[in-house]
Structure 1
């Protein structure tokens, strides 16, 4: 059971996956001796963390030079040698997160106690295996994992498979040397949203794990592939932003959640507020090349206002977190945005009003 600890700070950071090295936004919570992160679903933080990183024996690297095109990355090396790469929204945010994490690392290590050199080495994917090919092989109709209809506690689930089936498949094809390695690999596939828990037993295991393993090598725990939720970039979605719009002085930047205009789904974007000329642009922090805006608009003549937190206002869909505000352009386009806190929402509204 997760213990209650005082929160030092919290907010969005972009995290690199352990095996599939893609980048995903997570909500991080820093406390006295641990760093937790949560997934955002439907505009709201999930109730329980995806992972708990113990800060005891950790080593922090800032600046981190591992990613040339991502200068805002912090590297956190855990006691068991697992490396966590976390990206902030600005240099100021990167440095302040690093300072706060370092403070908690010191607090979690008694003075004079030597840090471990990592005797429990992390599982590493064999060099001759490409994970993207592995997932394709797992979904092959003839030689892959069979998707079947399974039942649990009176509920019926289609196109799923058991946890023990996954481990059997990995071991029988010599992808891993042992079932414990298979559990670790499958757990990382869950974390990167390539496999998803189905039903009560496997879902509870995701939330209640105490280390790096959360996958169940169990014939009654159900899982499915996340193939139907995969999204690909379309060249038709590329938006050309005039250079003049990007020439203004940066007034404020940070991570905010924005509701889409068509699907009405919520996504975390890095917002950049500029003045002279006054524009608000937003970037997709998960893209490999995230230095080009995916959207933006002029703030001249715009109206910005906070939305009440009691109930869901008209125009809003999803089970939202709160701290909402709305921007209406001169073309009567409505942008709905969520900040991480009430104070952050006030700061954004005030900054936007100053440049409109």
Structure 2
């Protein structure tokens, strides 16, 4: 999400999914990063900052990114405050998660620099950490392959083809960094490239195979959520994943071109809820998910073949929209004449979504 242009104290703002403190459920909140704190709000009636839910003070805050303890939520970062309070926040994309971690980290570093009396945040010196210059590759592969703490095997679809028992390049890099087998993402790519070169990992699908064939040494492994890899066939099957067959398999097989949090008006009960929207091409579908649950099973989908998408007037509440919701609204009308009303947090995001959907239709 973009930064606030009206309030110069706002460094970054946007939707994140937050785990509750008392009841450990996940709820979408609107986050606002300021110089020394992170504020979060419940997004109500089309107003981003209408209901303040909490404040996270950033002084000496420790950031863990990626944080991979939640099996079905690979895009989480963890903040630990000076009072040892822990906050778990999930983004809609890896890039968005990393942008939040970088922005929060920069704010924390500036606070620490400005306060000469403040000690540096403690560094985790876990004895299980491996030094980069003395990595035991077989130990790394065994750890990755561990049935309990290793890399989770999944089914993925690339350009219409389905692959089982594999994982993405960015999943590997996240795992190596989180388990302190690499200090940075660049180090993790170097380590993964070595595993690829020696045959412990192998490319699956077009993107990763092309990179291995054509890229320069050190760039053959892709830190990318669409580049797929698997373990070498010499490994025994471990918790193999079977490809799921369902009615929605075809519509979910398209290439993902855009993801993000938007508000959608319900069809029966005309209330507005934040949903994770995923735009796919070939075939063209716009699916939406309940972010408090997962991004595996959509709660709904819109076939974009022959649909119309248009921006709605920002002056007043447009026809068909319930409540005092206005601004950054757009409408999708399907071939079956079903009307979907959607709101983006900013005008730019609304225009970006309209443009992306039109390219698919």
Q: TM-score, normalised by structure 1?
A: 0.62
Task: Tell me how far apart the structure 1 counterparts of residues 306 and 358 of structure 2 sit (CA, whole Å).
Answer: 10
Deviation of residue 44 (structure 1)?
Answer: 2.9
Deviation of residue 100 (structure 1)?
Answer: 1.0
Task: Tell me how far apart the structure 2 counterparts of residues 306 and 342 of structure 1 sit (CA, whole Å).
Answer: 10
Shifted more, 95-104 versus 17-26: the winner is: 95-104
Deviation of residue 309 (structure 1)?
Answer: 1.1
* 2:323 match: 318
Q: Secondary structure at the match of 1:35?
A: strand
Q: Secondary structure at the match of 1:47?
A: strand
Shifted more, 262-271 versus 34-43: the winner is: 34-43
**1:60-209 → structure 2 map (5 Å cutoff):** 60-110=63-113, 113-115=118-120
* 2:284 match: 278
Task: Tell me how far apart the structure 1 counterparts of residues 292 and 54 of structure 2 sit (CA, whole Å).
Answer: 19
Deviation of residue 321 (structure 1)?
Answer: 5.3
Q: Secondary structure at the match of 1:247?
A: coil
- 1:10 is aligned to 2:13: yes
The 8 Å contact of residues 241 and 293 in structure 1, kept in 2 or not, is answered as no
Q: Name structure 1 gaps, 5 residues minimum.
A: 118-239
* 1:164 match: none
| CA RMSD of superposed structures (Å) | 1.7
The 8 Å contact of residues 43 and 51 in structure 2, kept in 1 or not, is answered as no
* 1:226 match: none
- 1:243 is aligned to 2:249: yes
Deviation of residue 69 (structure 1)?
Answer: 1.2
Q: Which has the higher contact order (CA 8 A, sep 6+)?
A: 1
Task: Tell me how far apart the structure 2 counterparts of residues 310 and 38 of structure 1 sit (CA, whole Å).
Answer: 25
**1:229-240 → structure 2 map (5 Å cutoff):** none
Q: TM-score, normalised by structure 2?
A: 0.61
**1:321-336 → structure 2 map (5 Å cutoff):** 322-336=327-341
Deviation of residue 241 (structure 1)?
Answer: 5.0
Shifted more, 36-45 versus 250-259: the winner is: 36-45
Task: Tell me how far apart the structure 1 counterparts of residues 326 and 317 of structure 2 sit (CA, whole Å).
Answer: 10
Deviation of residue 322 (structure 1)?
Answer: 2.1
* 1:263 match: 269
* 2:311 match: 306
Q: Name structure 2 gaps, 5 residues minimum.
A: 1-6, 123-245
Q: Secondary structure at the match of 1:104?
A: helix
Task: Tell me how far apart the structure 1 counterparts of residues 337 and 111 of structure 2 sit (CA, whole Å).
Answer: 52
Deviation of residue 274 (structure 1)?
Answer: 0.2
Q: Secondary structure at the match of 1:315?
A: coil
Deviation of residue 319 (structure 1)?
Answer: 2.3
* 2:259 match: 253
Task: Tell me how far apart the structure 1 counterparts of residues 326 and 39 of structure 2 sit (CA, whole Å).
Answer: 18
- 1:33 is aligned to 2:39: no
